[in-house]
Amino acid sequence: MRDYYEPKFLAGVIRKTPGLKTFFKRRFFKNTMTFPTEKVSFEFQDNKRRLAPYVSPRLGSETIERDEYSLKTYTAPLIAPNRVITNDTLAQKLLDEPTWNSGMTPEDRAAKIAAQDIMDLQDTITRREEYMCARVKQDGKLVIKGKGVNEVVDYGFENVVIVDAADRWTPTFDIMGQLSTIAREMSKDGINPDMLILGADAADMMLKNERYLKLLDNRRVEIGEIKPSELENGITYLGRIIVPGATFELYSYTEWYPDTTDLDADGQPKLKPLVDPETVIIQSSRERNSMLYGAITHIDKRGNFVTHMDEYVPRSWFTENPSQKFVEISPRPLPMPHDLKSWCVLKGVNRCSMIRLKNVQFISNGRIFRTGEALPDNPTTRSLVEKGFAEIVADTPKKSAKAVKKSEPDKAVPTQENVKSNP
């Protein structure tokens, strides 16, 4: 009988198995590099803009310095899911097997189970790699937390803007002005952004923004177009906008993942969006990064250590008591950005802080808000904070990178007439 868990057979199944389609890895990390050790290295180069110097013909040419680069080395994290097959597994009917007189032997079931196990394990690895790429694009770092491991891979990415209340997206905020400011800042580093990846809430607010929709409705000047269309795996193409300094293609990504570090009341991982709902990634579609794979070392059946320099390394082993056979696929992937200045991330673009009234009552649209009540964060209630009538309940984080353009003040601000002091 053929051993369907023999490494060469498993490797062949992996090569022939169509993997899940992904967005971040396929679009931005499709260049693959393998290394002969667990550690992987990559060079970061800081490309500076220079003008060729003017010189006198009597003095000759002028020496120009080369761009500096830095070499960084990381230990690629190990991913190692496995499946186990037992006598009970082979004795049970398969999902698509006829209930009676199927004619399928335990050996036949073993072959089908082996192929399905490989596909399932490969799918989990693909989802993990997509998650890693998504976190790198949003955080500039990876938190590696699992069985016996708790580490952080920090690439030194600094272009993260934590948007404060004055710059958050609302139906009246100047979103296009903010994007234009950021695009011009990025162009100083030689980056021409042309792509926006929006979380679900950010995409909703973009399509509700009055300034954006008004500009789209101007038939005399082509500012952009809304053209939603469904792509694979939760990707929606929203259309195109033109701002001073850039033309952006808009995408929304609503893929989900089970967060094994955050469990619900039943002990099950909570489902969370792959792109944070209030996050916007601003970057160039021409950006190309790499997915690096460290080496995997196993002990073969003869007791020798063997190092595999490959993306995905399968192996199998068994125990006699109890009778079990295991199959495992082990990669050591690490997404590696080539240029840390090639993208920018806005976080919390439409997060709502709460404003709490102090020793006053506030009348709005016929409703009376009393002392201690919470109000949504908007320009009107912000004016109460400025006048000392209210306070911000939650701390508002400060920007950690380049400033973004502030919105124009809202004309509908409260007056002394609609603010009453408590007796």
Which pLDDT score is estimated for 220?
A: 42
Q: What residue ranges of the chain have pLDDT lower than 70?
A: 1-19, 21, 44-50, 54, 56, 69, 96-103, 216-233, 351-355, 359-367, 372, 374-379, 382, 392-423
Assess whether 357 and 421 both reside in one domain: yes
Which pLDDT score is estimated for 184?
A: 93
Residue 71 to residue 57: CA distance in whole angstroms: 39
CB neighbours of residue 412 within 10 Å: 10
Assess whether 99 and 22 both reside in one domain: yes
Range(s) of the domain holding residue 72: 7-49+68-154+289-336
Look up the pTM and report it: 0.75
CA–CA distances in Å: residue 208 to residues 202, 204, 213, 226, 235: 10, 6, 7, 12, 19
100 secondary structure, DSSP code? S
232 is a domain residue: no
Instruction: Tell me whether the omega of the peptide bond preceding residue 277 falls within 30 degrees of 0, making it cis.
Output: no
Residues recorded for the chain: 423
Residue 142 to residue 136: CA distance in whole angstroms: 6
Assess whether 308 and 396 both reside in one domain: no
Q: How many domains are there within the chain?
A: 2
User: Which residue, 336, 371, 393, sits at the end of a domain?
Assistant: 336
Assess whether 321 and 415 both reside in one domain: no
Contacts of 20 (CB under 8 A, 6+ apart): 123, 126, 127, 130, 233
Each residue's pLDDT tens digit, 361-413: 666 666 677 776 766 666 677 677 777 777 766 444 433 344 444 434 333 33
Are 362 and 418 a contacting pair, CB within 8 Å? yes
Residue 269 to residue 131: CA distance in whole angstroms: 15
Q: Determine the residue type at 77.
A: P
329 is a domain residue: yes
The four Cα atoms 377, 383, 387, 393 give a dihedral, to 10 degrees, of 10
End-to-end CA distance of the chain: give it in Å, rounded: 91
Contacts of 12 (CB under 8 A, 6+ apart): none
User: Which residue, 303, 336, 369, sits at the end of a domain?
Assistant: 336
Assess whether 84 and 138 both reside in one domain: yes
Q: What is the CATH number of the domain that holds 87?
A: 3.15.30.10
Contacts of 99 (CB under 8 A, 6+ apart): 93
Helices (H) and strands (E) in the chain, counts: 8, 27
Which pLDDT score is estimated for 293?
A: 94
Residue carrying the six token digits 């009538």: 389
User: Nearest-CA neighbor of 11 among 318, 335, 316, 324?
Assistant: 316
Assess whether 421 and 388 both reside in one domain: yes
